[in-house]
């Protein structure tokens, strides 16, 4: 876990490396899961005896039940934590069913999700978690109101920006009281107010969250925009911000066609050393396919009596129908 060469370089200052594989917005698509698993495993093997995590910034599922079984098992086996995205919440009763059926209760973090009355998800979405002495906080969109009033989504809401900042502050303080000095925020909020290619750019959500003392890393999602930058907290501490998505000369299919690998170095106080940190984005398709999805024979599902395989191929088509379903 501690790199000796790093200590020598910094006059034996105790340093700790944390490696994170990150992604967002796969929308229940299975096309690239096998290649992702190969890439993730290779990254882990290149950092033996260190802290390795796989974290997601939400929209793992989709509103429609196409690849529910494969995705649920994928999250259980390969993802340490995910933000609770709008598509996840929009899945409603089926989302709750997947969490219970596949043992995903400690996987989805919805720190700013609350319940006005009773909703089954209140017992199955956690507010924060600690993994290997690293705190994880997760956010649903702060401007998320549409479609939550559907019959199977009653009594569930998300906090607005100001309320969310207060809630995250409180959660960070509670984690710090436990001695946790490395905290990752999974922010399915997008970078700017609104989301998509035509947002207003009047509020930088990531910058707002980065100012919260104690936040070290923000892994974003929701707006499908590739991000890799640094900000500072109100205490002047560096914050690393990343998100996979659209980039110059690069499309983004919301289907795990790319993912990120971060190697982060913290000092003894849990403060990042920017000059020693690295992040890179990888094309998932460049990795050989594992044989994970073969364990789950395709079966007839309720929606339209389509098989997992059929719907997966449908989602892979570059057409206007695909864009309608997979858009954020």
Residue 324 burial (10 A CB sphere; 0-12, 13-18, 19+): exposed
Q: Are 21 and 53 in contact (CB under 8 A)?
A: yes
* Residue recorded with tokens 């499908």: 224
CA dihedral for 117, 119, 122, 125, sign (positive or negative): negative
Distance CA 273, CA 47 (A): 18
Strands 217-220 and 238-243: parallel
pLDDT per residue of the chain (328 residues) written in tens, 0 to 9: 445 555 555 556 789 999 999 999 999 999 999 999 999 999 999 999 999 999 999 999 987 667 889 999 999 999 999 999 989 988 888 899 899 999 998 999 999 998 877 788 888 899 999 999 999 999 999 877 655 556 566 778 899 999 999 999 999 999 999 999 999 999 999 998 765 554 567 889 999 999 999 999 999 999 999 999 999 999 999 999 999 998 877 788 888 999 999 999 999 999 999 999 999 999 999 999 999 998 887 643 433 334 344 444 444 444 444 445 545 4
**pLDDT value at position 63?**
72
Q: Which phi-psi region, left, alpha or beta, contains residue 12 (left: φ > 0; alpha: ψ -120 to 50)?
A: left
Question: Which residues are CB-contacts of 124 (< 8 A; sequence separation ≥ 6)?
Answer: 96, 99, 100, 104, 105, 108
| Rounded Cα distance, 160 and 197, in Å | 21
* Separation of alpha carbons 159 and 126, rounded Å: 15
- Closest CA relative to residue 54, chosen from 121, 125, 136: 136
| pLDDT of amino acid 312 | 45
Strand segments, DSSP code E, in 31-85 are: 51-56, 81-83
Which tokens go with 242? Answer: 């990343």
Please give the backbone phi and psi of residue 68, each rounded to the nearest 5 degrees, phi first.
-55, -45
Q: Is 320 helix (H, G, I), strand (E, B) or coil?
A: helix
Joined tokens for residue 117:
């009355």
Q: Which of 262, 261, 188 is nearest to 225 (CA)?
A: 188
What's the rounded Cα separation, in Å, for the pair 69 and 177?
38
- How far, CA to CA in Å, does 5 sit from each of 1, 10, 13, 214? 12, 9, 11, 27
CB contact at 8 A, 196 and 223: yes
Give the three-state DSSP class for 114.
strand
- Taking alpha carbons only, the member of 173, 246, 239 closest to residue 205 is 239
Please say whether the beta carbons of 65 and 325 come within 8 A.
no
- Residue listed under structure tokens 């000059």: 275
């Amino acid at each position: 876990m501690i790199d000796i060469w790093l200590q020598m370089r910094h006059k034996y200052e105790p340093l700790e490396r944390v490696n994170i594989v990150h992604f967002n917005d796969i929308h229940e698509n299975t096309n690239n899961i096998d290649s992702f698993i190969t890439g993730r495993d290779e990254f882990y093997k290149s950092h033996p005896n260190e802290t390795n995590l796989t974290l997601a910034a939400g929209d793992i599922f989709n509103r429609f039940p196409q690849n529910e079984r494969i995705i649920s098992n994928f999250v259980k086996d390969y993802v340490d934590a995910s933000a609770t995205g709008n598509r996840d919440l929009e899945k409603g009763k089926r989302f709750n069913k997947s969490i219970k059926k596949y043992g995903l209760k400690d996987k989805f973090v919805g720190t700013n999700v609350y319940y006005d009355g009773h909703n089954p998800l209140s017992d199955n979405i956690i507010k924060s978690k600690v993994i290997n002495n690293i705190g994880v906080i997760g956010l649903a969109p702060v401007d998320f109101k549409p479609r939550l009033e559907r019959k199977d989504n009653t009594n569930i809401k998300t906090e607005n920006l100001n309320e969310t900042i207060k809630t995250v502050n409180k959660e960070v303080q509670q984690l710090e009281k436990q001695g946790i000095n490395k905290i990752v925020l999974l922010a399915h909020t997008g970078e700017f107010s609104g989301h998509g290619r035509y947002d207003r750019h009047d509020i930088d959500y990531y910058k707002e969250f980065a100012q919260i003392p104690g936040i070290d890393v923000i892994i974003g999602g929701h707006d499908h925009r590739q991000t890799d930058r640094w900000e500072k907290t109100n205490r002047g501490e560096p914050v690393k911000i990343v998100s996979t998505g659209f980039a110059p000369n690069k499309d983004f299919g919301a289907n795990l066609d790319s993912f990120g690998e971060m190697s982060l170095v913290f000092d003894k106080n849990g403060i990042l050393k920017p000059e020693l940190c690295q992040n890179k984005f990888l094309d998932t398709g460049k990795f050989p396919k594992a044989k994970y999805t073969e364990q789950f024979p395709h079966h007839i599902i309720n929606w339209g009596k389509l098989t997992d395989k059929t719907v997966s191929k449908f989602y892979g088509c570059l057409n206007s129908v695909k864009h309608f379903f997979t858009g954020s």
